[in-house]
Chains A and B, each alone.
Chain A
Amino acid sequence: DAKTTQPPSMDCAEGRAANLPCNHSTISGNEYVYWYRQIHSQGPQYIIHGLKNNETNEMASLIITEDRKSSTLILPHATLRDTAVYYCIVRALGGPSGYSTLTFGKGTMLLVSP
């Protein structure tokens, strides 16, 4: 799987939008971009994923550049509960057995302050 690069930490004021960048310059055409987060002492939580079109769900929006070499996760109105480590993961299509595994990097620590 392609590697990703994320800033180690970011700050955001409560109520403002949090924009978390991710670089994946070696991404292949069949690889998806996934975002997870991990709140302290809890298991990771799936947020959103996409291939090349922008995606939105109840938690966040994912903006993928046209060349697919980078993406941005947007939390539109950050709350204190959004303080967590956010992981950007590039994931290939499944192998011969139809599965594909997640490879986590070190992520971005997002601190939302009052």
Chain B
Amino acid sequence: DAGITQSPRHKVTETGTPVTLRCHQTENHRYMYWYRQDPGHGLRLIHYSYGVKDTDKGEVSDGYSVSRSKTEDFLLTLESATSSQTSVYFCAISEQLQKGYTEAFFGQGTRLTVV
């Protein structure tokens, strides 16, 4: 399995508090992604990064920010958590093997509950 670790694995937080989720990789892959998964919606992309300090928004980026100060770490921050952000969050990494070819490995997920 690819070296990708998410922390924490579980978290309960109160509405209005800031929350930061961490994704750490040991594969030196260029691309990193944050997804959320909710019943009936499948996986939806929040933000992604294509290099250190290079990030862009995904499908459901409102209320989230990200940072990538080094290759191995990609942080997802909820500035002021809301109940609608209760979800399972997955980090993924990928590398461009050749033009148009990428593969993605996923972490085990972080279950976040906002009460």
- A residues with a Cβ closer than 8 A to B are 30, 32, 36, 41-46, 49, 51, 87, 91, 93-94, 97-107
A44 smallest CB distance to B (angstroms): 5
Residue of A nearest to B102 (CB): A100
Most buried by A among B59, B104, B108: B104
Q: Which residues of A contact B108 (CB under 8 A)?
A: 42-43
Interface residues on B, range: 20 to 34
A88 smallest CB distance to B (angstroms): 12
Question: Would you call B96 and A94 a contact (CB within 8 A)?
Answer: yes
Q: Which residues of B contact A94 (CB under 8 A)?
A: 96, 99-100, 102
CA distance A98 to B45 in the complex (A): 18
Question: Would you call A100 and B45 a contact (CB within 8 A)?
Answer: no
A46 and B103 in contact (CB under 8 A), knowing A103-B45, A104-B42? yes
B contacts with A: majority SS: strand
B43 at interface by CB-CB < 8 Å: yes
A contacts with B: majority SS: loop
CA distance A98 to B31 in the complex (A): 10
B103 smallest CB distance to A (angstroms): 5
A101 and B90 in contact (CB under 8 A), knowing A44-B106, A94-B96, A94-B99? no
CA distance A102 to B42 in the complex (A): 12
Q: Of the candidates A46, A93, A100, which one forms a contact with B105 in the assembled complex, judged by CB atoms under 8 Å apart?
A: A46
Q: Which residues of B contact A46 (CB under 8 A)?
A: 103-105
Q: Which residues of B contact A91 (CB under 8 A)?
A: 102
Question: Can you list 28 A-B pairs, Cβ within 8 angstroms, ordered by A?
Answer: A30-B100, A36-B104, A43-B90, A43-B92, A43-B107, A44-B90, A44-B104, A44-B106, A46-B103, A46-B104, A51-B100, A87-B43, A93-B100, A94-B96, A94-B99, A94-B102, A97-B54, A98-B50, A98-B96, A99-B30, A100-B102, A102-B33, A102-B43, A102-B45, A102-B92, A102-B104, A104-B42, A105-B42
